[in-house]
Amino acid sequence: MLWSAVSLCMALSGTDQVAAAQDAAVWQIAQRSIATILRNGLPCGQAALIGKSGLFLAGDTGLIDPSVEARLSDGRRIRLDWKAMDRATQTVLLQAEDWTPDMGIVVTVRPPGQPLSKTPVLVVLPGGPVRGELVSENRLGVLSNSAKRMFPLGEVRFESREQSLAGALVFDQEGHLAGLLSATLSDSSNQGSRIVKVPVPAGLGGGASQLDSSPRAQAKSLSFGPADPTIGYTVSSEVLRRVVAGFLSPTHKVMHPAIGAFCKDAPTPGALVQQVTSGSPADKGGLEPGDIIVKMGDKPIRNQFDFARFVDTKDVGDTITVVVLRDLVPKTLTISVGTVEKS
Amino acid sequence: MNKKLEEQLAKMAFGDMSPEETARLEQIVAGDREATRVLNEYRDMRTDLLAMSQVPEHQLSTDRLRHAILNQGLKPASRPQFGWLWIPTMAATLAFGIMFLRNARHSPLEQIAGAGSPVASLESTGGMPELDRAPRLQNAFAFADASAQILSVAPIEPTVVAHPRRRMSADRLAALRDAVNQEFENNLIVNASGGVVANQPESRSQPSGAPIVLIDTTKDSATGAQKATEVDSGSNVVVGG
């Protein structure tokens, strides 16, 4: 029985060693594309190199300064200047000063068609990388701002004691950028053990946290059990590709396709138009509030999510046919796809 | 076991979950005896519902069933043990009323004096006695008893067919049937041409079966990222496109 236990431990540790080796290989590839953003000399975010001219992609983690300091993997310090922002995905474009192409490797975004479920990923936090799992790339996410934009999201699960997770970069096992953490589930206490954090007064050895200098974390914490399980959401790799393409364009503007309509679920199969933005492509195409969209292109529309998903797959400038029910009478409209001007 | 896990187990048992989510949940259940027990209970419930011919499989939905159960409850409707007594009671009341009216011209003392008389037998007329030819009884309750003998009928017990694999009590099965039927009736809608169509499954708003994620612009103080919450039903969620 003792030897069985020993064998089991050796087998498990062997599995962990293999996983650790894979993570190390991914980190070896990824770290040359990453700049760690510093605030007061402490890490507070990550930026990924997306352009050879020194263009970096980062999450909007409340970067209020127009210029921030960052550190490359080889220890060199650079300055990153605010260049553009995409409010829909809460991402920012930063330009490195005095950049030369040999200072880093441009990251590649995860290509389409990859297996989706339970993919191991590396989540790069300010304090370093942690192993995670890409549970799904097909979650539906809706922004609660005025744009009410829907995006396909990736759901990532990992454990971390850090308190600054926004903007964490997510890499898959091939070293491709799979996402950028933008949101965390506010109630993620269903999985894993709960952690108890007990602040230790300074007189008993407590002090400022190495990783988080916020006033809330001034006391050193004692942690019991595994780290906090976190469920995070990233924009899907297809949306990420659109963001990178937009930031790399001459205007540095991300063009999310839209027609300017807001829909909810209709009582019958379809999307019920609640509101049409004045002057939008939907307005010009003749779409009216109260219409029930039942078909777009050759795709039947069952609800508002089908509507949003169909629009999201189009490019700005495309022309689509929309079949609606207006006072129970079917009508066919032709609408050109525009873009979101502001949210 | 927390409520959210139980809801997920119900969805899994009723097939309202995507394969990814099912596989993930199966892993969790494998190590949890309580979760396994609850999951088996929901699976048995689904099997029993399928055994009822009134519930087509494509209309089974955990959301509607849950709603129905929460509103109706699984507890069998309380049935009075002697429910059949209302018939003779009504008959007695009616008879008493008629006797009172018919004998209104007699003094109350004569009525009371007749209370001790032996019970009179009622002539059998082969059916309901015609009240205008009824013998004048001095004991109204005797008349009531005789009426009860004619009016009482054997209670009709519903025939309940339970799945042979699992014995579910007749009351519980009937309560489930009523709850589900009530829920289906509440969801009848009118289609575009004016005809009544079958119930629209609530899962139509959630193509993948997974909850919808609502992302708030406010930051989560614990993580610094935007706050996200999950909602099970997306039918009232407005999206822009």
Task: Find the CB nearest A258 among B228, B236, B240.
Answer: B240
For the segment B157-166, the average pLDDT, to the nearest whole number, is: 48
- Is it the case that residue A313 has pLDDT exceeding 80? yes
Q: Out of A39-53, A148-162, B64-78, B181-195, pick the least confident.
A: B181-195
b/e sequence A69-95, b meaning 16+ C-beta within 10 Å: bbbbbeeeebebebebbbbbbbbbbbb
ipTM of this complex prediction, to 2 decimal places: 0.76
Q: Which of residues 159-218 of B touch A (CB under 8 A)?
A: 189, 191-193, 197, 200, 204-208, 210, 212-217
Contact B229 A117 (CB under 8 A): no
Strands (E), chain B: 189-190, 196-197, 212-219, 226-231, 239-240
Average pLDDT, chain A: 81
Bridge partners, A255 (sequence order) = none
In chain A, the residue whose alpha carbon lies closest to the alpha carbon of B191 is A268
Put simply, whether A186 touches B (Cβ < 8 Å) is yes
pLDDT digits (tens, 9 = 90+) for A196-234: 333 333 333 333 333 344 434 433 333 344 566 788 999
Q: How many residues does chain B have?
A: 241
What average pLDDT does range B97-108 have in this prediction?
A: 68
Helix, strand or coil for residue A107? coil
Residues 6+ apart with CB under 8 A from A97: A54, A78, A79, A80, A81
Q: Tell whether the torsion through CA atoms of B125, B129, B135 and B138 is positive or negative.
A: positive
Taken in order B9, B13, B17, B21, the sign of the CA dihedral is positive
Smallest CA–CA distance from B19 into chain A, residue: A117
The pLDDT tens digits of the residues spanning A248-290 come to 999 999 999 999 999 999 998 999 999 999 999 999 999 999 9
- Asked if the C-beta of B3 comes within 8 angstroms of chain A's C-beta atoms, the answer is no
Burial of B115 (0-12, 13-18, 19+ CB in 10 A): exposed
| pLDDT value at B203 more than 70 | no
Q: CB-based contact (8 Å) between A308 and chain B?
A: yes
3-state secondary structure of A249: coil
